[in-house]
């Protein structure tokens, strides 16, 4: 990590930033920073802003732990900066991060890998509000945000399209609605010394849509780990998550989300999206799956630091 033997490695934990997921990122970053201190690292917490490059030079970390979420933090932008500065960092590299954040392009990669995804289109916000561009039920959402930010569900039989908020981007994704249970699988690894492995499957139970509040507010959802599902479906989730992780060229930790219509058996399992910077908050799914596999939170964070590198 660039320091002499026996010297405590210094880790800069990037958090916050300017995206719509700033508050969740701050929570993730604080949790990870505390865990890394508990593992014996020297830690500097860094709220990413316009002076990020200068502050990183001042701190001179051995490793950067990327706890940013959303645009700029998980779309390849900050990864490119870290590559330029020659600072080893966690999670996926520039290309994998950019692909995963662009929902339509990641779906193209998943289709090419033979993975099941729903029909989707990229249209202007004006067209999405002018009339149905897909037969209901369907979903309208930003193409490059995470954590269910800006989700609109158009129910079957709806008279017209939704009135989208002014904060929605000019181009949006419209995709067919996939009914069923919400499942997710974490994958770790895929570097030269860390073959990819899946941690298991979680069943996410909510009263309604698994939106931002359900993901991050206490009591917003209930997680069943491991999921109470047939072995065949669990095996498919693991297989699809590993293939999705590989298809995008991911590193470190990723989380792949699914919908499963149990009335259709294996044919009802649909891959929704892959997240290269999954949440690391007290209610987050990745730490829960790791704990279920006997990996404490501190050990998970330590593994991510030890896995960090450039040229990812």
Strands 222-224, 269-275: pairing kind:
unpaired
Q: Which of 19, 21, 28, 212 is catalytic?
A: 21
Q: Which of 31, 75, 203, 273 is catalytic?
A: 273
Q: What Rg, from alpha-carbon coordinates, does the chain have?
A: 19
Q: Which of 257, 259, 288, 302 is catalytic?
A: 257
**SS3 state at 23:** helix
Sign of CA dihedral 132, 134, 137, 142: negative
* Catalytic (active site) residue 257: yes
- Cβ proximity of 147 and 70 under 8 Å: yes
* Catalytic (active site) residue 147: yes
Q: Which of 275, 284, 307, 312 is catalytic?
A: 275
Secondary structure letter of residue 245 according to DSSP: H
Q: Which of 41, 210, 212, 216 is catalytic?
A: 216
Q: Which of 147, 221, 254, 284 is catalytic?
A: 147
- Cβ proximity of 289 and 283 under 8 Å: no
133 vs 206: CA distance, rounded Å: 28
256 vs 274: CA distance, rounded Å: 4
Q: Which of 16, 93, 268, 279 is catalytic?
A: 279
* Catalytic (active site) residue 279: yes
Residue 266: CA atoms inside 13 Å, Cβ hemisphere, count? 9
Q: Active-site positions?
A: 21, 147, 216, 255, 257, 273, 275, 279
């Amino acid at each position: 990590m660039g320091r002499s033997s026996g010297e405590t490695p210094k880790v800069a934990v990037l958090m916050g930033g300017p995206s719509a997921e700033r508050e969740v990122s701050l929570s993730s970053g604080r949790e990870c920073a505390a865990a890394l201190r508990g593992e014996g690292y020297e830690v500097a917490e860094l709220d990413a802003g316009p002076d990020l490059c200068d502050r990183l030079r001042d701190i001179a970390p051995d490793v950067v732990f990327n706890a940013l979420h959303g645009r700029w933090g998980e779309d390849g932008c900050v990864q490119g900066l870290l590559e330029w500065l020659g600072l080893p960092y966690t999670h996926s590299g520039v290309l994998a991060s950019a692909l995963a954040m662009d929902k339509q392009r990641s779906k193209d990669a998943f289709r090419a890998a033979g993975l099941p995804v729903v029909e989707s289109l990229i249209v202007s916000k004006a067209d999405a509000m002018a009339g149905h561009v897909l037969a209901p039920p369907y979903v309208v959402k930003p193409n490059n945000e995470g954590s269910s930010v800006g989700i609109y569900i158009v129910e079957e039989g709806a008279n017209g399209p939704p009135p989208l908020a002014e904060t929605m981007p000019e181009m949006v994704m419209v995709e067919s609605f996939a009914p069923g249970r919400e499942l997710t699988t974490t994958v770790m690894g895929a570097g030269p010394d860390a073959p990819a492995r899946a941690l298991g499957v979680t069943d996410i139970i909510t009263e309604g849509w698994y939106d931002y509040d359900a993901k991050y507010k206490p009591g917003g959802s209930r997680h069943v780990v491991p999921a109470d599902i047939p072995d065949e479906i669990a095996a498919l989730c693991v297989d699809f998550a590993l293939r999705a992780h590989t298809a995008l060229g991911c590193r470190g930790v990723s989380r792949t989300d699914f919908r499963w219509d149990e009335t259709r058996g294996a044919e009802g399992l649909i891959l929704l999206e892959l997240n290269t910077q999954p949440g690391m908050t007290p209610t987050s799914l990745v730490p829960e799956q790791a704990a279920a596999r006997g990996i404490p939170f501190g050990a998970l964070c330590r593994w991510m630091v030890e896995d960090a590198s450039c040229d990812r």
